[in-house]
Amino acid sequence: MTSMKFIDLFAGIGGIKIAFENAGFDCVFSNDFDKNSKITFDLNVRKISNEMILGDIQDIKTHSIPDFDILCGGFPCQPFSVAGYRQGFEDERGRGNLFFDIIRILKDKKPRAFLLENVKNLKTHDSGNTIKVIYQELEKLGYKVKDQVLNSMEYGNLPQNRERIYIVGFLEKKSFDDFKFPEKILLTKTIRNCLENKEVDDKYYYNDKPLYEKIKNDIVKKNTIYQWRRKYVRENKNNVCPTLTANMGMGGHNVPLVLNGKGIRKITPRECANFQGFPKKYKLPNIADSHLYKQFGNSVSIPVIERIAENIKSALIK
Ligand SMILES: C[S@@+](CC[C@H](N)C(=O)[O-])C[C@H]1O[C@@H](n2cnc3c(N)ncnc32)[C@H](O)[C@@H]1O
């Protein structure tokens, strides 16, 4: 049997692409409008036969997208997140409306299934109206839809406390009935497994930076991840890394912190990649760290997506 085809919208650095390819799907189209993400994407997952299309999704005509079986998209989450602007579909810069580009493509192409990923708060945004509209729009197209919030530390064997909503839909009722979200699995990986075991560059240390005086008395344990929350230090008690976010790229204060024999430092972009389950062979391009922090914060926990992709595959094959 030939492998099923998917498209990767809002592709970023290819986290969803890697997960679906690992599960045996074939990517036929990727799009993002961020040129720095494309640099990282191209270094790792570029296919000459199917280059990532750099451009605004709103300008992409559906007839230019090849046929496919599954639409995947971690659509931009800012308008839906509490940490963001609380603007939902009415976001004045139009970002909230990108969901309607997903609808447009689903309507024109009618793939058998889709997977959408977003922040957990999508469910409670605008007192539940946002998710209601999302369901209504998808169901109008004939899709049967279900969603679940999964935490990477419970479903991906990754020591990161990352709760995301995964919305899955199928055209065929049988596939919808057969699809189950993955079961919880044991967390065996620890922070240590994700931190570099070699010395990292001095630029990641705070030892002689102004913030050091404010944080040094609170950051006292090794093998614990801390965060500077504008005015105070927060210790992560459950021995995992807090959610990596896109705004780690802005100013750096949200980048998780660790203590070792040499001092206090932020975790590196490579360590962020590890906490998201990117493979060791995934290369980091020579671009500013701020871009890399943002890209890994924006990306997905690959093992969680891969487990969902496996279940989508079983539901479509039966
Ligand atoms: C939450 S991230 C998704 C990251 C991706 N799943 C990954 O694994 O890296 C959202 C992405 O949407 C892209 N984006 C935002 N607005 C866009 C638009 N109008 N057209 C195309 N891409 C857009 C951003 O550049 C960002 O990479």
Same domain, 97 and 211: no
Confidence of residue 4 (pLDDT cuts 50, 70, 90): very high
72, 77, 241, 272: the catalytic one is: 77
Average pLDDT, the chain: 91
- The predicted-structure confidence for 60-69, as pLDDT tens digits, reads as follows 999 999 999 9
pLDDT digits (tens, 9 = 90+) for 148-162: 999 999 999 999 999
Instruction: Please indicate whether residue 13, judged by its CB atom, sits closer than 6 Å to ligand 1.
Output: yes
Residues 34 and 141 both lie in one domain: yes
Ligand 1 contact, 245 CB (< 6 A): no
**CA dist., res. 268 & res. 285, Å (int):** 14
pLDDT digits (tens, 9 = 90+) for 243-266: 999 888 776 668 999 999 999 999
Same domain, 80 and 172: yes
- Across the range 186-210, mean pLDDT stands at 93
For range 3-28, the mean pLDDT: 97
Q: Tell me, yes or no, whether 200 and 146 share the same domain.
A: no
CA distance 252 to 274: 18
CA 232 to ligand 1 centroid distance, Å: 31
Neighbours of 309 (CB within 10 A): 23
Judge if 25 and 110 occupy the same domain: yes
Q: Determine whether the shortest distance from the Cβ of 300 to ligand 1 is under 6 A.
A: yes
**Interval 73-85: pLDDT, tens:** 999 865 544 444 4
Question: What is the pLDDT at residue 251?
Answer: 66
pTM recorded for the entire structure: 0.94
Residue 305 confidence (pLDDT) above 50: yes
Residue-wise burial string across 182-194, b where 16 or more C-beta atoms lie within 10 A, e elsewhere: beeeebebebeeb
Do 33 and 84 sit in the same domain of this protein?
yes
Count of the separate structural domains present in the chain: 2
CATH of the domain at 234: 3.90.120
28 lies in the same domain as 177 = yes
Identify the pLDDT of residue 94.
Answer: 54
Atom of ligand 1 nearest to the CA of 56: 20
Instruction: Give distance in angstroms: CA of 56 to centre of ligand 1.
Output: 10
Instruction: Look at residue 177 in the predicted model and tell me its pLDDT.
Output: 98
Domain, as residue range, for 238: 191-296
CA angle 26, 30, 33 (to 5 degrees): 165
Nearest CA to ligand 1 atom 13: 10
Predicted pLDDT at 25: 97
> Quick one: 115 and 172 in the same domain?
yes
Q: What tokens does 115 get?
A: 């997977």
Same domain, 207 and 269: yes
Which of 33, 59, 278, 291 for mutating ligand 1's site (highest number of atoms within 8 Å of CB)?
A: 33
The type of residue at 138 is: L
Say if residue 91 is in the same domain as residue 68: yes
Residues 161 and 41 in one domain: yes
Examine the residue annotation and report whether 77 is marked as an active-site residue of this protein. Answer: yes
Of ligand 1's listed atoms, the one at least distance from the Cα of 58 is: 19
- Ligand 1 contact, 37 CB (< 6 A): yes
Q: Do 183 and 202 sit in the same domain of this protein? A: no
Model pLDDT, residue 223? 85
50 CA to centre of ligand 1 in angstroms: 18
- Could you tell me the pLDDT band of residue 100, with boundaries at 50, 70 and 90? confident
pLDDT band at 95 (very low <50, low <70, confident <90, very high): low
* Ligand 1 in reach of 303 Cβ (< 6 A): no
Q: What are the tokens at 220?
A: 């006292």
Task: Annotate the chain with three-state secondary structure.
Answer: CCCCEEEEECCCCCHHHHHHHHCCCEEEEEEECCHHHHHHHHHHHCECCECCEECCHHHCCHHHCCCCCEEEECCCCHHHCCCCCCCHHHCCCCHHHHHHHHHHHHHHHCCCEEEEEEEHHHHCHHHHHHHHHHHHHHHHCCCEEEEEEEEHHHHCCCCECCEEEEEEEECCHHHHHHCCCCCCCCCCCCHHHHCCCCCCCHHHECCCCCHHHHHCCCCCCCCCCEEEECCEEEECCCCCECCCCHHHHCCCCCCCEEEECCEEEECCHHHHHHHCCCCCCCCCCCCCHHHHHHHHHHCCCHHHHHHHHHHHHHHHHC
CATH number at residue 31: 3.40.50.150
Exposed (0-12), middle (13-18) or buried (19+): which is 290, by Cβ within 10 Å? middle
Q: Bigger pLDDT: 127 or 295? A: 295
